[in-house]
């Protein structure tokens, strides 16, 4: 047998140092975004662990500030905030109240951590008594009437000092509605990260418990995308680019690596991917049962998302990864 002519891939795997020398994909702290759930509570130190998301909690503003301080010490550069208001109604009034829970949290975080990138999720579901992402009439989510409320919500986040707004509602035209209102109020420079490609996914289950935002009837399939569709992802992304999105997000992440890759190859905007609650919880659950090694699986899954083409990764593991990659194994 002639052994001189076959490819010897093992040459570059023979030691840890050589493997590191040729590694193509690295997770960097500056690319990671940690989500936080901000709780409106009479006790500003209130702290409620989320049963289905071990390690994550609903945090009242003072508790949030302490958690963020610990994460910033570890090297966290960016957060995305979700609100859990005390009051919900049919017009999502607390989503755009100047003293709403997100507006308070943004002010507080920007004051203490001026360099932290504070992104806000812009949606109505957590603030609606029915839990849908838009206004309901005749048992249907109404698209155009919802745009005003979404734009007002984004503006109120901007006025509170947010560094970036991220609409996640999946109403048509919302990027343009938000961009127009922000521009007309002097926020031309504020970046917008669109949840451009958001699938109607069962992986959001734990989040809906965490954010108390499950729809009280029906589902989100009339506005979020069908998991079987890939070409449609390009149409959604293109629509958002035309309307003024600065960053395109794909969500969930690991089950949609093909979509991340397609966006990366089709467009030149930064691409973000959201490793959602169910992706996080399934790793945590398997680890608790002793069936998977948490750290290895978390790092592998997030590296895969980066390798597929995501520049920015939103993950509930962000804080833990900061500790892990510092060791750099």
Q: How far apart are CA 189 and CA 164, in angstroms?
A: 10
Residue 145, preceding peptide bond in cis (omega within 30° of 0): no
Among residue numbers 131 through 150, which ones bind Zn ion (CB under 5 A)? 133
56 binds, among Zn ion, ligand PBG, none (CB under 5 to 8 A by kind): none
Question: How many Å apart are CA 324 and CA 258, to the nearest integer?
Answer: 27
**Least distance CB 204 / Zn ion (angstroms):** 9
Nearer CB in complex with ligand PBG: 44/145? 145
Check residue 236 for interaction with ligand PBG (CB under 6 A): no
Q: Residue 150 in 3-state DSSP?
A: helix
* CA–CA gap between residue 21 and residue 144 (Å, rounded): 52
Binding piece for Zn ion, criterion CB under 5 A, among 3-11, 62-70, 91-99, 128-136: 128-136
Instruction: For the CB of residue 76, give the shortest distance to ligand PBG in the complex, in Å.
Output: 17
Please count the helices (runs of H) and the strands (runs of E) in the chain.
11, 12
Q: At what angle do helices 101-112 and 61-74 cross, to 10 degrees?
A: 40
- Kindly state the smallest distance separating residue 69's Cβ from ligand PBG, in Å: 23
Q: Which of 215, 205, 202, 203 is nearest to 169 (CA)?
A: 215
Q: Which residues are catalytic?
A: 198, 251
Return all residues near 164 (Cβ < 8 A) that are at least 6 apart: 117, 118, 119, 120, 190, 191, 192, 193, 247
Residue 24: exposure state from Cβ atoms within 10 A (0-12, 13-18, ≥19): exposed
Which of the residues 103 through 132 are near ligand PBG (CB under 6 A)? 121, 123, 125
- Per partner kind, with CB cut-offs from 5 to 8 A, the member of ligand PBG, Zn ion, none near residue 36 is none
- Chain residues 30-69 in contact with ligand PBG, contact rule CB under 6 A: none
Q: Name the burial class of residue 16, with classes exposed (0-12), middle (13-18) and buried (19+) by CB atoms within 10 angstroms of its CB.
A: exposed
For the CB of residue 17, give the shortest distance to ligand PBG in the complex, in Å. Answer: 37
- The residue among 133 and 164 lying less far from Zn ion, judged by its C-beta, is 133
- How many residues bind to ligand PBG according to rule CB under 6 A? 12
- Of Zn ion, ligand PBG, none, which one sits near residue 207, judging by CB under 5 to 8 A according to partner kind? ligand PBG
Tokens of 17: 């140092």
Q: How far apart are CA 157 and CA 106, in angstroms?
A: 8
Tell me if 125 contacts Zn ion by CB under 5 A: yes
**Residue 204's binding partner out of Zn ion, ligand PBG, none, with CB under 5 to 8 Å set by partner kind:** ligand PBG
Structure tokens, 221: 């399939």
Residue in 27, 39, 53, 123 binding Zn ion, rule: CB under 5 A? 123
Q: Which of 34, 168, 194, 243 binds ligand PBG (CB under 6 A)?
A: 168
CB of 220 to ligand PBG, least distance (A): 6
d(CA 316, CA 264): 23
Give whichever of 14 and 222 is closer to Zn ion, judged by the CB atom. Answer: 222
Decide: is 223 part of the binding site for ligand PBG (CB under 6 A).
no
Longest dimension (CA), the chain: 77
- Closest approach of ligand PBG to the CB of residue 160, in Å: 19
Residue 121 site contact among ligand PBG, Zn ion, none (CB < 5 to 8 Å, cut-off depends on kind): ligand PBG
**Sites of contact with ligand PBG (CB under 6 A):** 121, 123, 125, 133, 168-169, 204, 207-208, 220, 276-277
**Sites of contact with Zn ion (CB under 5 A):** 123, 125, 133
């Amino acid at each position: 047998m002639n052994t001189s002519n076959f490819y010897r891939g093992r040459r570059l795997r023979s030691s840890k140092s050589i493997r590191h020398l040729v590694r193509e994909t690295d997770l960097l702290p500056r690319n990671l975004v940690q989500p936080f759930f901000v709780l409106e509570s009479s006790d500003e130190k209130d702290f409620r662990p989320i049963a289905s998301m071990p390690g994550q909690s609903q945090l009242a503003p003072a508790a949030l500030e302490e958690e963020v301080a610990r994460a910033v010490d570890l090297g966290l550069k960016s957060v995305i905030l979700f609100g859990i208001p005390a009051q919900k109604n049919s017009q999502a009034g607390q989503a755009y109240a100047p003293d709403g829970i997100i507006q308070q949290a943004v002010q507080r975080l920007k004051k203490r951590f001026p360099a932290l990138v504070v992104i806000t999720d812009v949606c109505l579901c957590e603030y609606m008594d029915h839990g849908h992402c838009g206004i309901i009439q005749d048992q249907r989510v109404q698209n155009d009437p919802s745009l005003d409320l979404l734009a007002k919500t984004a503006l109120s986040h901007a006025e509170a000092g947010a560094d970036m707004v991220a609409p996640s509602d999946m109403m048509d035209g919302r990027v343009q509605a938000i961009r127009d209102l922000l521009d007309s109020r002097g926020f031309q420079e504020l970046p917008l990260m669109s949840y451009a490609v958001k699938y109607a996914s069962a992986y959001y289950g734990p989040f809906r418990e965490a954010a108390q935002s499950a729809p009280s009837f029906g589902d989100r399939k009339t506005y979020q995308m069908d998991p079987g569709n890939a070409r449609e992802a390009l149409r959604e992304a293109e629509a958002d680019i035309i309307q003024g999105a600065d960053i395109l997000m794909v969500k969930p992440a690991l089950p949609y690596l093909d979509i991340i890759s397609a966006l990366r190859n089709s467009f030149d905007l930064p691409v973000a991917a959201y490793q959602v609650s169910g992706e996080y919880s399934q790793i945590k659950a398997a680890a608790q049962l002793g069936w998977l090694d948490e750290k290895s699986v978390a790092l592998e899954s997030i590296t895969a998302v980066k390798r597929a083409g995501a520049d920015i990764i939103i993950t509930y593991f962000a804080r833990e990864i900061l500790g892990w990659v510092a060791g750099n194994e």
